Amino acid sequence: MKKLIALSFLSLMTSQTIAQEFTFSGVAKGEVRYFPEEGKYGNTEKLQPSFVIEPQAMYSWDNDRQVTTVIPYLRVDEQDNERTHFDLREMSYVGAFNNIETRIGVSKVFWGVTESYHLVDVINQSDFVDNIDGEDKLGQPMVNLSYLTDYGTFTGFALPYFRERTFSGSEGRFRGPLVVNTDKVQYMHVDGQNHTDYALRWSHYFGDFELGLSYFNGTNRDPFFKAISSTEIAPIYTQMEQYSIDSQYIYENWLLKTEMIVRDSQLEQRFFSTVTGFEYTFSNIKQTGLDVGVLAEWLYDERGTKTQTPFYDHTFIGTRIALNDVKSTEILAGMFVNNHDMSLTSYRIEAERRINENWKWEVNANIIHEPAPVSGLYLYEKDSYIEASISFYW
């Protein structure tokens, strides 16, 4: 944790130039989840209210070529003490000097193109208590250098401090019969949490075709687990190498996309995994401004039922609806189908709409539908929920 704090303050001290512009913004959100069923493991509360605040302070100067950003994050949860947590999502300095860009501090970096799952997105750790879909990430200490050329962007990362995954407590949802005790964490490298990870990436555009090649060497963001008592398990973090490709191609109303990885990791053999699919958009239907997208993606993991993710040979089918109205109304709905028996595994719905320039409401549903006992979702079969939230932006 000392390295995390040190790098955070280093990012604020990097420039001696007085900021030319200061902005302060952010979001505060009230949220409640309703679970129709009681949990399988004593977590019987059906209502889970929580509150989130995420302010953002930003200094920029040199015609916005140098920026310092601070984004703290706080969630207070009424039901699960482990879900109440604080994080520095961002505390970084970014400077652009001709064709070189540098980033120092705590930050978030996203890689990937697919909708249903992001295989290649490996820099940041998932904030699992915020949401199990892997979309919410913890801030990662880093030193990042990018070099922009006519032949693509070359990027290197040094990641000097590992962020452990967050997990639900005994009163929380999305947990198994044994509670994850993060105080008993184990590392398979002698440096433990202080191991320095490295990553390299090259990305480029060729007209309507976008391609990214990435390499990662360091601590596996996906933990294994070991029973340490009759009621608890401990996470185990191994070392890994990962090679990945992500690409997308736009052809008229079609968007073709794929993510592929090959990973070598301790405690498991080398494996291949991919998410590949398309999105077709019906634009401005009958001149109403309505856009309707149809999505289909195939999720495959060579590890089969031994995968660390819920989906090993599944198809995601969904739709994205945008009204393109003044309130920015959008809906995303999709379902996962097991390709082995064509059973519906789970489905989700996300809807949002602005109330005015400062307020927005969202309604989400995450339904787990009779998962097979071999599926990673089986532990959460009673944890389907409907979530409603209202956010204030300033």
Q: Is the pTM of this model over 0.85?
A: yes
| CATH topology classification for 2-393 | Porin (2.40.160)
pLDDT at position 2 over 70: no
pLDDT at position 15 over 50: no
DSSP character for 382?
A: T
Long-range contact pairs involving 276-284 (C-beta distance under 8 Å, separation at least 24): 276/114, 277/114, 277/115, 277/116, 277/316, 278/254, 279/115, 279/254, 279/255, 279/320, 280/253, 280/254, 280/255, 281/253, 281/255, 281/320, 282/253, 283/253
67-76: pLDDT as tens digits: 999 999 999 9
Which pLDDT band, with edges at 50, 70 and 90, does 371 fall under? Answer: confident
Region 335-342: mean pLDDT is: 90
Alpha carbon of 225 to those of 186, 198, 228, 234, 357: distances in Å? 9, 24, 9, 6, 45
The confidence score (pLDDT) of residue 134 equals 85
Which pLDDT band, with edges at 50, 70 and 90, does 342 fall under? Answer: confident
174-231: pLDDT as tens digits: 998 999 999 999 999 999 999 999 999 999 999 999 999 999 999 999 999 999 999 9
82-114: pLDDT as tens digits: 999 999 999 999 999 999 999 999 999 999 999
Which pLDDT band, with edges at 50, 70 and 90, does 314 fall under? Answer: very high
Least Cα distance to 345 among 365, 321, 366 occurs for: 366
More confident residue, 18 or 370: 370
pLDDT at position 14 over 60: no
pLDDT at position 16 over 50: no
Region 161-185: mean pLDDT is: 94
